[in-house]
Chains A and B, each alone.
Chain A
Amino acid sequence: MANILSWLTFLPLVGMAVILIIPTRLWKNSELVRYVALGTTLGCFALAAWLFFAFDRSSSGMQFVENADWIPYFSIRYTLGVDGLSILMVLLTQIIGVVGVIASWNINKAVKGYFTLYLLLQTGMTGVFCALDFVLFYVFWEVMLLPMYFLIGIWGGPRKEYAAIKFFLYTLLGSVLMLLAILALYLNMQAPSFSIIAMADPANFRADGWLVRNMPTWFFDLTPKELVWLAFFVGFAIKIPAFPFHTWLPDAHVEAPTAISVILAGILLKMGTYGILRVNFPILPAETVHFATFIAVIAVINIVYGALCAMAQKDLKSLVAYSSISHMGYVMLGMVSWHSEAGLNGAVLQMFNHGTITAMLFLLVGVVYDRAHHRRIDGFGGLWAKVPVFSGLFVVASMAALGLPGLSGFISELLVFMGAFASHRVFAVIASSGIVLGAAYLLWTIQRVFMGPLNPAYADKDAMPEISAREVASVVPLMIIVVVLGVYPAPALNLIGPTLGSLLQTMQSAAGAAILP
């Protein structure tokens, strides 16, 4: 299939165009709009499924590459491609895309606008993971930002404006830093190019450029390369979100509609770690080595601090949001563990697994919110007897989140720990307290929401209806993935293995003797 990645990226725009020309008045309840959105995302999913089978698992390089001139005057090219690093993220985006549409079925406010923005967002996200030219990457990065702002700001909860603007400004700050860093790299290229791949080869930089000469600057004696590295890192760290740039996340999650929370946690957060692995690692490996301990410290803070903060939350959604912060810490910790391939593989697998697991949790929190119209953890109690199917699903999702063996989160966390224990033993030991804390806050939540005597507020027959077939349909696909990868992780690890193997070699040769025991 030629141009599969372009199709995948821009198919949502086609769906968007169709939605825009549907005369809403002719259709009751805007049902057609929803079906078009569902059809579009299912189409994307089908393309992704083809991609999954056609992907060459023995190659570590870019596949399905598309390369064309875009703005030749500035040597800006339209380059798309996927490798082991991005393939899982591209697949995840399509899966979450479908799930999100199902979860958005009960959106009744400005349906047309909602799904238009939703599909635009989908294009932006897929584009970010496929783009190999920095300008293209940056454009997709920003394309994603705008619909997100409106989706939170219009369809969100009571404090939606505050949350939306906070999200927007915070991310924009990161984008600006990233843009500066991109330009710094561009200006130092031997032959002008924005290619992310070309920049990974040091030979392509001008030998007499200030970047290569790398003299310390007045700014805290940091070298230009380190400044560029930090600019990229801060831009990406905001997205992860890494401590202390994380406070936009709970607000955005609490106010965003369910499906948008799902996308936010499922995919947007991954762009931070993806960006670091795609940009900081291959382009500035020596600086990455230099800052590896720094990343590991932040990772441990994310894990432990995020988990402790999660325990203190009174709102279900902000609890899940803080648990995301904690779980993304594992990604960062695995990322900088270079003694064996366990760390990097664990990190990338954890990105995928966290996407599916947290998406489940947000979907289920959305289900209970739709019924109770509140999310106070203490405002429930004893729901298990009342809604057993829903409770069962929630317990399975929580077990996946706390890393129960047999579910996918365990494998990735185990790999991360296997890697981290060899590279950063002390940090790994501190981070292991996250295992206990994760169990503590999730089980405490289960106890308060589902166990004990039934809260009289929900004693009425109609007070808390059982989860509907549509809602089950949004959760179960994710749960199947979580179980399958928990029992048999090879299908995912085989996709990413070769690419991460060569990335690991890059890092090991940059680190030299420094990391060897």
Chain B
Amino acid sequence: METTITTYALILALPLVAFVVQVFLGKRLPRGGDWLVIGAICIDLLLSLRVFFGALFFSSFAGTPFVWNLHGWLGDADTGVLALSTGIMVDNVTAMMLVVVTSCSTLIFLFSTGYMAGHPRYGLFFAYLSLFAFSMLLLVLGNNLIALFMGWELVGLSSYLLIGFLFEEPVVAPDIVPASACKKAFITNRIGDTGFLLGILTLFSFTGKIAYGDVFEAVRNGAFGDHATLLTVAGILLFCGAMAKSAQFPLHVWLPDAMAGPTPVSALIHAATMVAAGVYMVARLYPLFTPDALTFIAYTGAFTALFGATVALVMNDIKRVLAYSTISQLGYMVFGLGVGAYSAGLFHLMTHAFFKALLFLAAGSVIHAMHRAYHHAGLEWNPRSGENDAQDMRNMGGLRKAMPVTFVTTAVAVLAISGVPFTSGFLSKDMILGGAFAFGFVEYPQHFLIPVFGFAAAILTAFYMARFLIMTFLGATRVAERGQEALRESPWNMTVPLVLLAVLCGWFWYNPDPTTIFAKGWVSSFLTPPASAVPPTLVTPSADAHHVAHLTAMLVSLVCAGAGFFAAWMLDRRGAISLEHWRLSGSRVYQLLANKYYVDELYHTTVVAGMVGLSRILGWFDKVFIDGMVNATGRFQTGLSELSGLIDKFGVDGLVNGLARFVRDTGNEVRQIQTGRIQNYIVYATVGLIVLIVVTGM
């Protein structure tokens, strides 16, 4: 099934046009123009599905991706930098990403019509959503590093605008201020992007190319020559971009704060699609990563998976649990790619997009209901004391009765994220853990920590997700009594997306065999790893090792999930484990987790304070010292001129005046002689004559 550039141009253009129209006319269109944005994304979804099914059933991109180049983009030159072109490339990975992005977007846009109803900037919200969709599609469709970077940063912009959408609110959740959360997200991402850019520059300076295929080929042909270390450095620099966007430790700090945006935003951008961009980037540039760079990636991902999960254990804010869970799950994808489980990493990207979007939308649905309950009861949230917090799970409980659809769909997602059989999450997580098992336990025992972290995170995931489900929906309700009667299931435009996403959490879409023992499903053949462009020095785990590892890993991960669920059950029913007791016991570990390892505090006292302090010092230095020198020079000049003025006045002019005065005074003195008396003159003459005689005589 052939595709043409028209398809992709349409896919890109529709959300962009919708964005532009919305920005200018959003307020004047009926319903704030939401139909325009949703219409555009729906058409995009259909086009993407067509591309995807073409690729899946008719192998349209088998071997050769679709490539289209826009020549003369930078300039009309024939050679050199100005001859670089931009363009579009589509292969199986792109096709999958298109479907993930457009399907999540469509459902979440629909959900937003309910969630954001009545907001004064309703139309603008949809404009931003459309801009986001455009940027994300540009990111996945581009055929070169620059286009990737452009989409990358534009996604950052839309995320900035959406996190800060409620900019006038002083605080939206404990310690979360939209106005500073959006800034934090953008700047943290910029730090990663700077690394990303330096990586691009390193590649460009050695290859002179920017298109993916050209760069890979140049590297394969030895563009780096003896500078193999630089290639590793370039790979790690590129990965810095992914670390920020996909919230890997230590650049994860922006993601929990990004929950300042309205919940659909959290679902779309900060759970399902945008954060997956980093994973997509690693997959897209996979041939460039040297074994060392991949090992670095694997460790970062594995650590992040465990790190995020531990923090999620003790969070009470419903969105924060999900935020740290996202960080942890992104860690899975990243270390999956790092250990060479390429298709598994991308597969998890897809399954996670659906179940995490579902979880966030469900949280949105719950928060929506809680707000209504508090509103009905006349209770207001007190940001100081934390009373009546509609997002605090300690104020929920028993919501299953009032919100059955939300409850059932959430339960499905919880099973999926915990890796229970018959769900999509089981399939993808299992593949990653299998890869990690083969890598760390079978092939490279020195890297055993990677699978250990992975399995430990799996236990914790099951635990905190079960805790999430129990605290929110099960047990007796803790909702204020007066508000209980107002608790209601959300309207259809919010529940339908939930149901559809829950259906996408089933195993049958991905593999007819839920155990993966008999059939592998389409994913592993559809998303095959590209040939590496660097000489492989690491042995890729053999098929046998994989097979052995796969079964073992499956069993271990099942045990892990079971252990997690059991612990959560103990927590709930038996009270044998109690987080509350743990908290009250003043445990240092609990404090550490509840404060998210103090990473934010650390950055605040070092990086932020350092930068602001340095800027203050330099600002002062500039004003007092540099400008002071200029002013001092000026003052020196005026001083000099005053001095020369004085010299002129009292020296030069004084000399002239003094001479005149001397002449006058002498004249005055000498005048005294002329008395006019003849006797005096005779005396003068006589004295003069005597003097003359005496002098000449001697």
Q: Which of B149, B183, B616 contacts A447 (CB 8 A)?
A: B183
User: What is the distance, in angstroms, from A164's C-beta to the closest C-beta of chain B?
Assistant: 13
A199 contacts B by Cβ under 8 Å = no
User: What is the distance, in angstroms, from A334's C-beta to the closest C-beta of chain B?
Assistant: 12
Binary flags per residue of B133-170, CB closer than 8 Å to A gives 1, else 0: 00000000000001001111110010010001001101
Given contacts A421-B204, A421-B205, A490-B73, contact A405 B82 (CB under 8 A): no
Contact status B190-A341, CB under 8 Å: no
A-B contact count (CB 8 A): 152
Contact status B170-A452, CB under 8 Å: yes
Question: B75-101: which residues lie under 8 A (CB-CB) from chain A?
Answer: 75-77, 80-82
The CA of A235 and the CA of B167, in the complex, are separated in Å by 46
Contact status B75-A169, CB under 8 Å: no
A143 contacts B by Cβ under 8 Å = no
Interface of A (DSSP majority class): helix
B578 contacts A by Cβ under 8 Å = no
Given contacts A308-B615, A309-B615, A435-B193, contact A452 B179 (CB under 8 A): yes
Question: A403-424: which residues lie under 8 A (CB-CB) from chain B?
Answer: 404-406, 410-411, 414-415, 417-419, 421-422
Contact status B81-A313, CB under 8 Å: no
B615 — nearest CB in chain A belongs to which residue? A311
A207 contacts B by Cβ under 8 Å = no
Contacts of B179 in A (CB 8 A): 447, 451-452
Contact status A421-B202, CB under 8 Å: yes
Contacts of B627 in A (CB 8 A): 247
Given contacts A247-B626, A451-B179, A489-B74, contact A436 B82 (CB under 8 A): no
Contact status B157-A451, CB under 8 Å: no
Contacts of B23 in A (CB 8 A): 392
Contacts of A240 in B (CB 8 A): none
B186 contacts A by Cβ under 8 Å = yes
Interface of B (DSSP majority class): helix
Contacts of A405 in B (CB 8 A): 149-154
Q: Which of A305, A410, A439, A489 contacts B618 (CB 8 A)?
A: A305
Given contacts A421-B204, A454-B168, contact A435 B194 (CB under 8 A): yes
Q: Which of A247, A443, A493 contacts B82 (CB 8 A)?
A: A493
The CA of A340 and the CA of B620, in the complex, are separated in Å by 39
Contacts of A247 in B (CB 8 A): 622, 626-627, 630
Contact status A451-B82, CB under 8 Å: no
Binary flags per residue of A371-400, CB closer than 8 Å to B gives 1, else 0: 000000000001011000000100000010
Contact status A436-B190, CB under 8 Å: yes
B625 — nearest CB in chain A belongs to which residue? A244
B658 contacts A by Cβ under 8 Å = no
Contacts of B75 in A (CB 8 A): 345, 489-490, 493-494, 497
The CA of A493 and the CA of B77, in the complex, are separated in Å by 10
Interface centre among A246, A308, A382 (most CB of B within 10 A): A308
Given contacts A405-B149, A436-B190, A493-B74, contact A417 B630 (CB under 8 A): no
Question: B280-295: which residues lie under 8 A (CB-CB) from chain A?
Answer: none
A248 contacts B by Cβ under 8 Å = yes
User: What is the distance, in angstroms, from A389's C-beta to the closest C-beta of chain B?
Assistant: 10
The CA of A454 and the CA of B75, in the complex, are separated in Å by 46
A149 contacts B by Cβ under 8 Å = no
B688 contacts A by Cβ under 8 Å = no
The CA of A127 and the CA of B631, in the complex, are separated in Å by 32
A281 contacts B by Cβ under 8 Å = no
Given contacts A421-B201, A447-B183, contact A490 B194 (CB under 8 A): no
The CA of A406 and the CA of B186, in the complex, are separated in Å by 16
Contacts of B177 in A (CB 8 A): 452
Question: B361-394: which residues lie under 8 A (CB-CB) from chain A?
Answer: none
Give how many A residues have a beta carbon under 8 Å from the other chain's beta carbons: 62
User: What is the distance, in angstroms, from B138's C-beta to the closest C-beta of chain A?
Assistant: 9
Contact status B82-A345, CB under 8 Å: yes
Contact status A406-B150, CB under 8 Å: yes
Contacts of B183 in A (CB 8 A): 443-444, 446-447
B204 — nearest CB in chain A belongs to which residue? A418
Contacts of B530 in A (CB 8 A): none
Contacts of A295 in B (CB 8 A): none
The CA of A425 and the CA of B164, in the complex, are separated in Å by 36
The CA of A310 and the CA of B623, in the complex, are separated in Å by 12
A166 contacts B by Cβ under 8 Å = yes
Question: A48-100: which residues lie under 8 A (CB-CB) from chain B?
Answer: 57
Interface segment out of the listed A129-137, A150-158, A271-279, A426-434: A426-434
Binary flags per residue of B593-621, CB closer than 8 Å to A gives 1, else 0: 00000000000000000011011101110
Contact status B616-A312, CB under 8 Å: yes
B474 contacts A by Cβ under 8 Å = no
Chain B: residues with CB nearer than 8 A to chain A?
23, 72-77, 80-82, 146, 149-154, 157, 160, 164, 167-168, 170, 177-180, 182-183, 186-187, 190-191, 193-194, 197-198, 201-202, 204-205, 208, 611-612, 614-616, 618-620, 622, 626-627, 629-630, 634
Listed from nearest, the 3 A-B pairs whose CB atoms lie closest are A312-B619, A451-B179, A405-B150
Chain A: residues with CB nearer than 8 A to chain B?
57, 166, 169-170, 244, 246-248, 305, 308-313, 340-342, 345, 382, 384-385, 392, 399, 404-406, 410-411, 414-415, 417-419, 421-422, 425, 428-429, 432-433, 435-437, 439-441, 443-444, 446-447, 450-454, 488-490, 493-494, 497
Since A305-B622, A436-B190, A497-B75 are in contact, a sample of 4 more A-B pairs with Cβ atoms closer than 8 Å, ordered by chain A residue number, is A341-B81, A382-B168, A418-B204, A453-B170
- 10 A-B interface contacts by CB (under 8 A): A169-B634, A247-B622, A247-B627, A308-B614, A312-B618, A435-B197, A447-B179, A451-B178, A488-B73, A493-B82
